[in-house]
Structure 1
Amino acid sequence: MPITSVSKDTDDLTMVVVAEFPVPVRRLWDAYADPRQLERFWGPVEWPATFSRHDMTPGGESHYVMTGPDGDTSAGYWKFRSVDEGKGFEVEDGFASEPGVPDTQMPSMRMTFAFEETDEGSRVTTTTWFGSLEDLEKLIETGMEEGMTSAMGQMDEVLADLKSYAAGAGTTTQLLDDTHARVSRIVRGTVDQVWSAHTDPELMRRWMLGPDGWVMATCDVATEVGDTYLYEWEQEDGSNRFGFTGELLEVQAPVRCVTNERMIGVEGDGVRNDMTLTPVESGTLVSTVMTFPSRELRDQILSTGMADGMEISYARLEKDVLVPA
């Protein structure tokens, strides 16, 4: 069991949980920074979490839902107050009535996560500050301590799994629920480099092409919230043109942008794409959560081989565009 101590102080209104692991600090940090890893332990064994948003940067947010064995759900959120990469972060932690909507009937807490090296590996100290003694007692009664113990007991297996989360693993697609999917890849480059590659038309035309034999005929980029973008591709002989258009809904350069998107000539609601760039040990994790209007459209789009085309493009980005970090 990685937890070495749990202490509660009713005078300071705090609970402190200390856990140690036989891995470097960077490996432990990345487990919290990467939503694919975080959702494997953030939640008791019988209540696994699914993260629909996780932008680990000051002012960013995380939205998650834990699902119980009978299908019951419990939603929560983090609002990041500060992030010191590799050393620690602070969040407002609370319950949500639905993803991204705080439940005002439940207390929220301030939590800090401090990471440090040890002789055997690394340590994370999680300190929770409660708003009142009533809040502390209420949350302890709900099983908060037992839940954290169960959750962190899963971390050894996650930390040992290097292959699934390393650079070179390729582009992966996860079905989060009936209308959400996450497409992820680690790109060997800095966050600034990868952001530029997604927003600079000249760079985009060099790598965002899918299989060989295609060119990006139109690359009109949206730079401000409310702007419309237009991307079109065609084969080198000018045939089979297709494209996508959409609107920039949110942007926080160089770590996050949210767009809606639809294929040109196709009627109906589009797809919401929430892309987050996160620094990890081997480069930048590009994570895009796609929100579909229906399960049928989700399955239709994913079955086109979209992820395969993205992998070809990202491999080209690494090989032909990015300067080694």
Structure 2
Amino acid sequence: MKNNLQFDFTVDKTTKTVFVNRDFAAGLSLVWDAFTRQEILDQWWAPKPWVSKTKFMDFKVGGRRFYAMVSPEGQEHWSIQEFTSINPTTNFKFFDAFTDKDENINTEMPSSDWDLNFSEQNGTTKVSIAIKHKALADLEKIIEMGFQGGFTMTLNYLEELLQTLQQQ
């Protein structure tokens, strides 16, 4: 395992944006697949002991991923990702919102626009994520809800999964 992998998490209140930069000791193709294939996403897209359960995913512009983060007790928190732009292996964007189990957007909860960029150098893949919120109050709410800790934990699980997948 490489010990010099970059991981930065920055909150910029002036632009209402969270910036996450994370290096993974894996090739671009595998990291891209981990972010864009349902069967891999469901193995890491939730902070343990929660799990991710995708009901459906259509990874194309205009397509959506509808999924829940499920607690060990079975409590479900549903979300939708609506894909707005895809440039294979380099970038994709989506609108993200909390929903109910019937896909109705919860307007009481923050929504955001995600912009994910992927690049590889010497076998290390960098993922740069910008998560923009419409209002400062939305950004502050998501941070108060523990987004930084939860997403950090989730990305750490991805690093572990990538190591396992590379060994198969």
Q: Do Structure 1 and Structure 2 share a fold, with TM-score over 0.5?
A: yes
The residue type equivalent to 2:116 in the other structure is F
2:37 to 30, 34, 38: 34
> 1:129–1:163: structure 2 CA closer, same or farther, 3 Å change rule?
closer
> 1:66–1:146: structure 2 CA closer, same or farther, 3 Å change rule?
same
Partner SS, residue 153 of structure 1: helix
In 2, the alpha carbon distance for the partners of 1:29 and 1:124 equals: 9
How many residues get paired? 165
Unaligned runs of 5+ residues in structure 1 are 167-325
Q: Does residue 51 of structure 2 align to residue 44 of structure 1?
A: no
The residue type equivalent to 2:125 in the other structure is S
Q: Matches of residues 252-291 of structure 1 in structure 2 within 5 Å?
A: none
1:89 to 74, 80, 92: 92
Q: In the alignment, is the contact (CA less than 8 A) between 1:40 and 1:49 conserved in 2?
A: yes
1:53 to 56, 61, 68: 56
Q: In the alignment, is the contact (CA less than 8 A) between 1:64 and 1:99 conserved in 2?
A: no
User: In the TM superposition, what whole-angstrom CA distance separates every residue of 1:127-185 from its partner, at most 9, and x where no partner exists?
Assistant: 10011111110110011111101111111232234389x9xxxxxxxxxxxxxxxxxxx
In 2, the alpha carbon distance for the partners of 1:162 and 1:48 equals: 18
The residue type equivalent to 1:13 in the other structure is K
| CA-CA distance at 1:40 after TM superposition | 1.1
CA-based RMSD of the aligned residues comes to 1.9
> 1:21–1:32: structure 2 CA closer, same or farther, 3 Å change rule?
same
Q: Once superposed, which parts of structure 1, at least 4 consecutive aligned residues long, lie more than 2 Å away?
A: 160-164
In 1, the alpha carbon distance for the partners of 2:6 and 2:107 equals: 31
Q: Matches of residues 166-245 of structure 1 in structure 2 within 5 Å?
A: none
Partner SS, residue 100 of structure 2: strand
Q: Does residue 108 of structure 2 align to residue 102 of structure 1?
A: no
1:114 to 101, 117, 130: 117
> 1:99–1:89: structure 2 CA closer, same or farther, 3 Å change rule?
farther
1:132 to 130, 135, 138: 135
Partner SS, residue 158 of structure 1: helix
The residue type equivalent to 2:55 in the other structure is S
User: Partner of 1:18 in structure 2?
Assistant: 21
User: In the TM superposition, what whole-angstrom CA distance separates every residue of 1:177-208 from its partner, at most 9, and x where no partner exists?
Assistant: xxxxxxxxxxxxxxxxxxxxxxxxxxxxxxxx
Q: In the alignment, is the contact (CA less than 8 A) between 1:94 and 1:109 conserved in 2?
A: yes
State the percentage of identical aligned residues.
Answer: 26
In 1, the alpha carbon distance for the partners of 2:91 and 2:102 equals: 25
Partner SS, residue 47 of structure 2: coil
